Chain A
Amino acid sequence: MVETTVQIVNKTGLHARPASNLTNVAKKFKSRLTLIHDDKSGNAKSIINILTLDLNMGSHVVVRAEGEDENEALAAVADFISTLTE
Chain B
Amino acid sequence: MTREYQGIPVSDGIAIARAVVLRPAEIQPDPTPIQPEQAQAELAAFAAALEAAREQIQALYDSTCRRLGEERAEIFSAHLSVLEDPVLEETIQDKITQDHRSAVCAIAQGVEEIAAMFQGLQDPYLQERAADIRDVGRRILENAAGVPRVELSSLEEDSVVIARDLTPSETVTMDLSHTMGFVTELGGRTSHTAILSRSLEIPAVVGVSGLLDHIAGGDTVILDALEGRLLVDPTDDQVEDYRRRQSEFLAQRQALNALRDLPAQTRDGRVFSLCANIGGPGDVASAHKYGAEGVGLYRTEFLYMNNTHFPTEEEQFEAYRVVAAEMGKDRPVIIRTLDIGGDKELPYFQFDQEDNPFLGWRAIRMCLDREDVFKTQLRAILRASIFGKLLIMFPMIISLEEFQQAKALLETCKEELRAEGKSFDENIQTGIMVETPAAVMMADVLARHVDFFSIGTNDLTQYTLAVDRGNTRIAHRYDPLHPAVLRAIERVIQASHAAGKWTGMCGEFAGDPRATVLLAGMGLDEFSMTASSIPKIKQLLRSLDCTAARTLAKQALAASSVTEVRELLNLN
Contacts and interface: CB of A to CB of B under 8 A. Distances in A.
B177 to A, nearest CB: 30
Interface residues of B, number: 24
B87 A58 contact: no
A46 B118 contact: no
Interface string A42-57: 0101111101101001
Interface in A1-48: 7, 9, 11-12, 15-16, 20, 23, 43, 45-48
Contact of B421 (A7, A20, A51): A7
B386 A11 contact: yes
A46 B121 contact: no
Contacts of A51: 118, 126, 129
Interface string B197-234: 00000000000000000000000000000000000000
A20 B423 contact: no
Interface in B92-144: 114, 117-118, 121-123, 125-126, 129, 133
A78 to B, nearest CB: 17
A65 B420 CA distance: 28
A48 B114 contact: yes
Contacts of B133: 48
B121 A48 contact: no
B85 interface: yes
A48 B85 contact: yes
Q: How many interface residues does chain A have, given as a range? A: 10 to 19
B46 interface: no
Nearest to A60: B421
Given A11-B387, A52-B121, A57-B386, A45 B86 contact: yes
Nearest to A9: B423
B319 to A, nearest CB: 16
B72 to A, nearest CB: 15
Nearest to B125: A15
Contact of A46 (B85, B117, B129, B423): B85
B176 interface: no
Listed residue (A12, A15, A46) with the most chain B CB atoms within 10 angstroms of its CB? A46
B254 interface: no
Nearest to B83: A47
Contacts of B81: 20, 23, 47
A20 B129 contact: no
A84 to B, nearest CB: 13
Nearest to B120: A52
A57 B387 CA distance: 11
A16 to B, nearest CB: 7
Contacts of A11: 386-387, 423
A52 B244 CA distance: 49
Contact of A48 (B87, B122, B123): B87
B271 interface: no
A48 B88 contact: yes
Interface of A: 7, 9, 11-12, 15-16, 20, 23, 43, 45-49, 51-52, 54, 57-58
10 contacts: A9-B423, A15-B126, A16-B78, A20-B78, A43-B86, A46-B88, A48-B114, A51-B126, A54-B126, A57-B423
By Cβ-Cβ distance, the 3 closest A-B pairs, closest first, are A46-B87, A48-B87, A47-B81
Given A11-B386, A16-B125, A51-B129, 4 more contacts: A11-B423, A46-B85, A46-B86, A46-B88
